[in-house]
Amino acid sequence: MKTQLEAISTQAKLAITEAQTQAEIENLRVKYLGKKGELTAILKQMGSLSPEERPVMGQLVNQAKAEVEALITEKGELMQQKALEQKLKDETIDITLPATEISKGKLHPLNTVLNDMIDIFTSMGFDVVDGPEVETDYYNFECLNVPADHPARDMQDTFYLAENLLLRTQTSAAQIRTMENRKPPIRVICPGRVFRADEVDATHSPVFHQIEGLVVDKGITMCDLKGVLEEFAREIYGKDTAVKFRPSFFPFTEPSVEVDVTCSECGGKGCRVCKGSGWIEILGAGMVHPNVLRSCGIDPEEYSGFAFGIGLDRLTTTRYKISDIRLLFENDKRFLDQF
């Protein structure tokens, strides 16, 4: 038994010395010192020894176990130290290397123009209101004097979600909700996203942004509309900007106009951007149709009002001379870094 003990002890010490990983060390601990380990097994054989031999043999086994355990502990600590040193070496930061440039966030050009427009109109006494992007046919069309058989519905390719539910085609629906819940005088703008089934190209997108404006009070005239839009155009495009009204048609306004401003590219002289006319169309407007006022519970004999709808995307592209509206939606960092 003594010879067997010496052989196991020698074998264990050699295996521990040659071990290269923490896993190997743990396996050796189990192999020699575990409940079913080789040194433990020798202790279980001591019942076959005489009473005089047992104390001597027990002392030798315990001494061998202590030596193996000490060697395992020492080798484990050495491996932990080497692993820590390697980790520190791998994670060393060379502070002399140039730092990575961190890009700062900034406003999207659409948000910049929107904030400017909100500042302009709130300075003129307008409130900002919002409305749902998923609308009913009633608010998106009927209350705006566009019944089911009206030909104007063909002008807007609508995304229908159900028979009477759709993605709004204009933020004018928010004006209807405002007139239903407020009494005149009313002076609001309604910015937001709108949706139309349109082909994607340099000037069209199925998702775009509008800002609708509405004023309802006693004695409101077309002169008031012209004054508000002239002030808006001068603030956006510059103090020398001129505004021109052209007769048009919208079912929810009467009379209706298209509004042009002098081309920001050529100053009205004529260029490729304005197709030689010197003017760029920026919005539609008009006096609120009496039927619209009446549908919201406002007496058109006592009150009048005007409304206008501004395409935020169109305004942004003309202001910053952006040639393709798709650039506003692609989130290309090279493009956004220019603003």
Q: Mean pLDDT over residues 213-242, rounded?
A: 92
In a domain, 228, yes or no: yes
In a domain, residue 95? The reply is: no
Do 203 and 278 belong together in one domain? yes
Whether residues 217 and 313 share a domain: the answer is yes
Residue 2 · residue 43 · CB < 8 Å: no
**Count of domains forming the chain:** 2
Question: Does a structural domain hold residue 96?
Answer: no
Q: Please, which pLDDT band fits residue 111 given cuts at 50, 70 and 90? A: very high
Q: Are residues 41 and 125 in the same domain?
A: no
Secondary structure letter of residue 143 according to DSSP: G
Residues 72 and 117 both lie in one domain: no
Q: What is the pLDDT of residues 121-161, one digit of tens each?
A: 999 999 999 999 999 999 999 899 887 777 666 656 888 89
Q: What is the pLDDT of residue 277?
A: 84
Say if residue 247 is in the same domain as residue 134.
yes
> Domain residues for 78?
2-90
Both 84 and 147 in one domain: the answer is: no
Task: Assess whether pLDDT exceeds 90 at residue 29.
Answer: no
User: Which stretch of DSSP H or E encloses residue 321?
Assistant: none
Cis peptide before 185 (omega within 30 of 0): yes
Pair of tokens at residue 179: 């007139």
Which of residues 27, 59, 90 is at a domain's end?
90
3-state secondary structure of 198: coil
> Do 40 and 154 fall into the same domain?
no
Regarding whether 176 and 69 lie in a shared domain, the answer is: no
pTM of the model: 0.66
DSSP state of 247: E
Task: Give the H or E element holding residue 308.
Answer: strand 304-311
Query: In what side-by-side order are the strands of the sheet with 243-250?
Result: 127-128, 186-195, 207-217, 304-311, 279-288, 253-262, 243-250
Q: Return the SS3 of 38.
A: helix
Q: Residue 309: inside a domain, yes or no?
A: yes
Q: What is the CATH number of the domain that holds 181?
A: 3.30.930.10
Q: How far apart are CA 67 and CA 16, in angstroms?
A: 11
Structure tokens at 261: 């401003």
Higher pLDDT pick, 45 / 285: 285
- Same structural domain, 265 and 147: yes
Q: Same domain for 232 and 315? A: yes
Greater confidence (34 vs 109) lies with: 109
Residue 100 lies in a domain: no
